[in-house]
Structure 1
Amino acid sequence: MIFLGIELGSTRIKGVLTDEKAKVLAQGAYEWENKFIDGIWTYSFDEIKSGLRACYSSLKEDYKSKTGGNITEINAIGVSAMMHGFIALDSRNKPLAPFKTWRCGDAEKEANQLTKLFNFPIPARWTAAHLYKAVKDKASYLAEINTVTTLAGYVHSLLSGKHVLGVGDASGVFPVSGGNYDLKLLEKFNKQLNGKLSKSVYELFPKVLLAGQCAGYLTANGAKLLDKDGDLQSGALMCPPEGDAGTGMVATNSVKPLTGNVSAGTSVFSMAVLEKPLTAVYDGVDVVTTPTGSPVVMVHCNNCSSEINAWVQLFSEACGVDKNKLYTKLFNLSLEGEEDCGGVVACNYNSGENITGITSGTPFVAHTAESNFTLANFIRAQLYSAFATLKLGNDSFFKKEKIKIEKYYAHGGLFKTEGVCQQYLAAALNTPVAVMTTAGEGGAWGMAILAAYAADNELPLEQYLESKVFAKSKLKIVTPAVETVKGFNLYTKNFKKAIKAEKVFYKV
């Protein structure tokens, strides 16, 4: 049996083909980048389709090179993507407006109003906030809206013809309770909208499903969209589409209470599975769910690795060194830097950041005349900056809520260089951080696991992961070093000063 997981991330669309033991059989990818057009961060709908096809074509080639065979039948397929955002569709499944990604912060006012109305945190990137903004702006397409969904939900509908969402992705659309949208809050939202949409919000939002449930089947049109050669047969089981947060939890085996994970890429977020709900609303903190509906507190930061990638690209051009080798060399060099980066501070904001109240980003590096401005400290400051805002978000409520996570599982490209960013993240969160050998596989692999689980769902997801996926996994755990924790805390004080400068830059 073979299973396909596809994840549409911020910088690439990745596909992973696995067997029933979650062993990777083939991989494919398509590189892309969001564009800032007419005041919003977006990807074109044409590129969503062409990128999906190119990713699958790349995977087919990889499979053929490894096995000599062709892919004609897949047992189950799952789609995941960056969470939140806003896609409005008409009754023919045609987009009515450009896709707004999670990076769009233009619904801040509406998000704050909904937060007060619900007494529940609604960040500006959530789908409900964007829908409310469209209504308040009297968007020309309001009367035509038939479905409001996420990127994962949209792609799933292209492949299956079904408008559904996994509960984890749905929890970034609207508050969830008991495995479905919170009906009491939906009623409040409907009253607030006062009949300005053709349907109730409950009818507009996709149906919510839990991990393991059937979410439809690959249609003939869906197979044709994926495979330009026409080799792929229709009929594959489709599992509920999920957000990148949910696939990150699955890929790191962190769906049980008191476990957490950190996913680091263009953005970075931490997830902590709770035993009980939070007692208050905190700025910049999301309350979402696992793919099975358990409550999760998420701290999401818009900025993480983009500035690091830009510097590595610059050094690569200057030195003529392969970027992949340069990442390893520079990351390891950072270990020679001082614990507090010698007074060097980097602000990695390419876009706005809700946690620190920044509406538009301007990345920069700063140091005083007395700072020890070395390459090692410079690179270390860049890597620290990837986790500094995440630390600020978690520090805002962890002590007050008396939350103690046993360990975080980290995944994403930043952790491919062994021990470096893992050590810095452990210091930032002052909690042990574990990295699995599959850390670089990321969400697409996690989505393939969810697809396999939909075909074999007799056990609870937690037990399925423990017994069938991670039973023989090897963990590399780093505990926070006392001196590095102290150094990161000193760096964070400088980072807070840099945020003040960032606010000035925006006004200039």
Structure 2
Amino acid sequence: MYLGVDCGTQGTKVVILDPEKGGLRGEGYAAHALISEASGLREQEPRWWVDAFRRAYRDALERADIDSRAIRAIGVSGQQHGLVALDARGEVIRPAKLWCDTETAPQNAELLHRLGGEQGSMEQLGLVPATGYTLSKLLWLKTQEPENFDRIAHLLLPHDYLNYWLSGEIAAEYGDASGTGYFDIRTRRWAPEVLGLIEPSGRLERALPPLLEAQQPVGRVRPDVGRELGLGDDVLVASGGGDNMMGAIGTGNIRGGVVTLSLGTSGTLYAFSERAPQQQRALVAPFCSSSNGWLPLICTMNLTGTANAVREMFGLDLVQFNAEAARAPIGCDGVTMLPFLSGERVPALPGATGSLLGLNMQNLNAANLCRAVLEGTTFGLRYGLDLLRDSGIATRELRLIGGGARSPFWRQMVADIMDTRVLCPTIGEAAALGGALQAVWCESHEKGTPLALDALCERYVALDDSCAVEPDAAAVAAYGDSYARYRQQLSALHPGA
């Protein structure tokens, strides 16, 4: 048995993979709290992730009805970019600032200037750090909380921290590390000279964890944690990775032509590449994958959270919300929503707020507003897909994951707006499944009988034909007009976007 863990923004998921039966034996979930302020602050206490893991693990174990000592390895997926700072005793210094924290936008702009702008950043890192990357959080900490900054002895990401709790070992993996803003994605090495722009003494460089390849283990589960979880001896802790990197593995996105689209708290689009992208756009993040390749990616910050805000405003459950949205026509009778309630990363508008445009006495109704938030968030993803396509990424199909993927109405909307066939994996918890598959892969290398990751994906990643959606030609044309209006209004309100 193999454990896959996905520590996301809203909660932690745990799955138990049974390789003999070729599927999941049990699943569990536990929610996280979120510290959120109007300034753009978004933080969580790392101990909440550990507590959620414990609850989700017990739930999955109960559902699986297995002996916990049968678990042989654990793979952890985690939300990207979060800053977990530890002191010299290995204790957490302060709450972790998350990927969706935008109060560090001024620090990101300052660091981008110090790097020499977009061109200088590309030359040094192979990408352009966006607000939300780990780098700007460090400058924020130095200027806003200098006492805490001075205590930093170790710099970790969320999945690194869960690995640390499990194993007692401090390490990082190429895929997740590539989203920090102080990592060169082309050479797969830390970029200490970038940290020197914040702290010239070299202290931050000494706080960097050693780097692992994706198939390398972090270590073994600590004896006290093993006893608490009822595990056997020598349970392996795989390298793990960022949630997008693990989601790629969990959707079989480890070769060209496949694009994964996640409709979660954030919206992400990513595709595997065997080599570092050469013709790069600033808004496309060419991260490293956790399958020893690269994973060009775009991320929008407003998706299901924004849709839920509109849904809750009208007091609707999910079924009612989708039915209400379906009552409105494509284009919402001229209503456009720019859904930037949490700022935005793609397009790069960290300080933006949301806008409803085109309202009049005839089109102001619940159906149009419900549909407008789904169209607006999906248009943001289309904006990103256009960037990926312009960078040379082929899109034969979209593999849809995340909470929004469960909506047939939204699935069809995605297919029509993107003009691409949409498929859903049978196991929707793709990042947790990716963690479990990576645990199998990692253990096979540790034992000296390495398995091929593509063969593991071929065996365990299945697609649900009943959820397959083809684009409708008439709807594609209608959405094309609405998307053109979205882009025009976006440019008028935010010149340059």
TM-score of the two chains, using structure 2 as the length reference: 0.86
AA at the equivalent of 1:207: P
Q: Report the equivalent of 1:122.
A: 129
SS of match in other structure, 2:474:
helix
Alignment of 1:327-346 (within 5 A): 327-331=318-322, 334-346=325-337
Q: Report the equivalent of 2:415.
A: 426
SS of match in other structure, 2:413:
helix
Kindly state the Cα deviation for residue 140 of structure 1 after the two structures are TM-superposed: 2.4
Q: 1:422-475: CA deviations, max 9, x gaps?
A: 222223333322212223x23222212222222235233123211x21368647
Kindly state the Cα deviation for residue 292 of structure 1 after the two structures are TM-superposed: 1.8
Q: 1:72-115: CA deviations, max 9, x gaps?
A: 44211111111012111122211223211001221322452345
AA at the equivalent of 2:414: L
Q: Report the equivalent of 1:196.
A: 201
2:412 and 2:471 in contact (8 A); partners too: yes
The 1:133/1:52 distance shift into structure 2, 3 A limit, reads same
2:185 and 2:286 in contact (8 A); partners too: no
Question: Which region of structure 1 is more displaced relative to structure 2, 424-433 or 14-23?
Answer: 424-433
1:258 and 1:274 in contact (8 A); partners too: no
Q: Report the equivalent of 1:212.
A: 215
Kindly state the Cα deviation for residue 239 of structure 1 after the two structures are TM-superposed: 0.7
The 1:280/1:483 distance shift into structure 2, 3 A limit, reads same
Distance in structure 2 (CA, Å) of the matches to 1:474 and 1:239: 32
SS of match in other structure, 1:262:
strand
The 1:486/1:275 distance shift into structure 2, 3 A limit, reads farther
The 1:492/1:139 distance shift into structure 2, 3 A limit, reads farther
**Unmatched segments (≥5 aa) in structure 2:** none
SS of match in other structure, 1:438:
coil
Identity %: 21
Q: Report the equivalent of 2:272.
A: 273
TM-score of the two chains, using structure 1 as the length reference: 0.84
Alignment of 1:63-74 (within 5 A): 63=64, 67=65, 69-74=66-71
SS of match in other structure, 1:216:
strand
Provide the alpha-carbon RMSD of the alignment.
3.0
**Unmatched segments (≥5 aa) in structure 1:** 318-322
Q: Report the equivalent of 1:101.
A: 98
1:170 and 1:176 in contact (8 A); partners too: no
Distance in structure 1 (CA, Å) of the matches to 2:44 and 2:462: 39
Kindly state the Cα deviation for residue 293 of structure 1 after the two structures are TM-superposed: 2.6
Alignment of 1:295-334 (within 5 A): 295-316=294-315, 323=317, 327-331=318-322, 334=325
Distance in structure 1 (CA, Å) of the matches to 2:199 and 2:369: 54
1:263 and 1:270 in contact (8 A); partners too: yes
1:87 and 1:99 in contact (8 A); partners too: yes
AA at the equivalent of 1:409: R
SS of match in other structure, 2:438:
helix
Kindly state the Cα deviation for residue 267 of structure 1 after the two structures are TM-superposed: 0.5
The 1:330/1:30 distance shift into structure 2, 3 A limit, reads same
2:249 and 2:291 in contact (8 A); partners too: no
2:5 and 2:12 in contact (8 A); partners too: yes
For these two proteins, the number of residue pairs brought into alignment is 478
AA at the equivalent of 2:33: E
* Alignment counterpart, residue 438 of structure 1, candidates 412, 427, 430: 427
Q: 1:315-364: CA deviations, max 9, x gaps?
A: 556xxxxx4xxx24543554453222221223333311132343346445
Q: Report the equivalent of 2:174.
A: 167
Distance in structure 2 (CA, Å) of the matches to 1:212 and 1:350: 38
1:306 and 1:350 in contact (8 A); partners too: no
Q: Report the equivalent of 1:320.
A: none
Distance in structure 2 (CA, Å) of the matches to 1:109 and 1:380: 34
1:34 and 1:42 in contact (8 A); partners too: yes
* Alignment counterpart, residue 452 of structure 2, candidates 460, 465, 468: 460
Question: Which region of structure 1 is more displaced relative to structure 2, 128-137 or 149-158?
Answer: 128-137
* Alignment counterpart, residue 80 of structure 1, candidates 74, 77, 92: 77
Kindly state the Cα deviation for residue 131 of structure 1 after the two structures are TM-superposed: 2.7
SS of match in other structure, 2:420:
coil
1:436 and 1:475 in contact (8 A); partners too: no
Kindly state the Cα deviation for residue 283 of structure 1 after the two structures are TM-superposed: 3.6
Distance in structure 2 (CA, Å) of the matches to 1:292 and 1:283: 23
* Alignment counterpart, residue 480 of structure 1, candidates 471, 489, 494: 471
Q: 1:219-257: CA deviations, max 9, x gaps?
A: 123336xx4xx5334531111121110121112111112
Kindly state the Cα deviation for residue 169 of structure 1 after the two structures are TM-superposed: 0.9
Kindly state the Cα deviation for residue 178 of structure 1 after the two structures are TM-superposed: 6.1
